[in-house]
């Protein structure tokens, strides 16, 4: 198992294909598996690898929470598709910065381990608790391209590749805005406590090779 060399374009392509039908490296919530792979990537994936870039930006948003995410980090060779070996470790530079663990040491004393276990239990209990009422909203978004040469099918694919808990994409259509340019108008339903227009705009405009801007055309509580 592995992704090849995640510091090379070939490895990022394997990661992008792997995430085409997944939100996370393992399971259905962010975990130490995502942290391990995130650490191995030296810079954000290019915009044409929309699944990998969507995942990268999502895990990056957990900056202050990564050390408390569930699970235990394993070697990169234990993640990813079968039949592909990990080559990232072999391609690392000898710079001192590569030896810095950005997410803390794996060596913890008994008290720290106990605290971590308690946090994991609280996290699991919170996820298991079902709220009595979930507030939802229907949002209609206008996503504008740079010009009439922008691949609108690819733009929509990038937008729909954004997956997060509490977000469901709906119908879409292309609307002419003039000079041969069309904008993508797409509907989504969100859980208000989990997804807001600000995080949608951050993720959508991250595909800067295709997206010029995003506007909220309509916002209705359900």
Q: What is the pLDDT of residues 38-75, one digit of tens each?
A: 988 888 999 999 998 999 998 888 888 888 888 888 88
The gap between the terminal CA atoms of the chain, to the nearest Å, is: 44
- The answer to whether the CB of 139 falls within 8 A of the CB of 216 is yes
Asked whether residue 89 is assigned to any structural domain, the reply reads no
In angstroms, rounded to a whole number, what is the distance separating the alpha carbons of residues 182 and 178? 7
Last residue of a domain, one of 78, 98, 118: 78
Q: What was the pLDDT predicted at 120?
A: 85
Helix or strand or coil: residue 139?
strand
Asked whether residue 142 is assigned to any structural domain, the reply reads yes
What CATH number does the domain containing 188 carry?
Answer: 3.30.70.60
Q: Do residue 74 and residue 147 come from a single domain?
A: no
Verdict on whether the full-model pTM lies above 0.75: no
Asked whether residue 95 is assigned to any structural domain, the reply reads no
User: Per mean pLDDT, which range of 86-90, 148-152, 215-219 is the poorest?
Assistant: 86-90
Of 25, 29, 13, which is closest to residue 65 (Cα–Cα)?
A: 29
Q: Do residue 143 and residue 72 come from a single domain?
A: no
Asked whether residue 153 is assigned to any structural domain, the reply reads yes
Parent domain of 203 = 136-221
Asked whether residue 100 is assigned to any structural domain, the reply reads no
pLDDT reading at 93 higher than 50: no
From the centroid of its chain, how far is CA 64?
A: 16
Give the contacts of 102 (CB within 8 A, at least 6 positions apart): 39
In the chain, the number of structural domains is: 2
Q: What was the pLDDT predicted at 3?
A: 85
Last residue of a domain, one of 56, 78, 100: 78
- Residue 165: pLDDT band with limits 50, 70, 90: very high
Last residue of a domain, one of 60, 78, 96: 78
Q: What is the mean pLDDT of residues 145-174?
A: 95
Asked whether residue 157 is assigned to any structural domain, the reply reads yes
Asked whether residue 2 is assigned to any structural domain, the reply reads no
């Amino acid at each position: 198992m592995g992704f090849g060399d995640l510091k090379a374009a070939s490895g990022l392509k394997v990661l992008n294909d792997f995430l085409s039908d997944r939100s996370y490296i393992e399971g259905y919530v962010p975990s130490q598996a995502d942290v391990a792979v995130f650490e191995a990537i030296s810079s954000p994936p290019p915009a044409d690898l929309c699944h990998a870039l969507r995942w990268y930006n999502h895990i990056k948003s957990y900056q202050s929470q990564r050390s408390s995410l569930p699970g235990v980090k394993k070697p990169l060779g234990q993640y990813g598709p079968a039949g592909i070996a990990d080559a990232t470790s072999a391609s690392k530079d000898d710079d001192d910065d590569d030896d810095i663990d950005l997410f803390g040491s794996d060596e913890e004393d008994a008290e720290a381990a106990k605290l971590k276990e308690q946090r994991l239990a609280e996290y699991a209990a919170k996820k298991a608790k079902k709220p009595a009422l979930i507030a939802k909203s229907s949002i209609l978004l206008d996503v504008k391209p740079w010009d009439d040469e922008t691949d609108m099918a690819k733009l929509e694919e990038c937008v729909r590749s954004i997956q997060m808990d509490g977000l469901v994409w709906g119908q879409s259509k292309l609307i002419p805005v003039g000079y041969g340019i069309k904008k993508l108008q797409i509907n989504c339903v969100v859980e208000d406590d989990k997804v807001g227009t600000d995080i949608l705009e951050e993720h959508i405009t991250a595909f800067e090779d295709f997206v010029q801007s995003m506007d909220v055309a309509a916002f209705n509580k359900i």
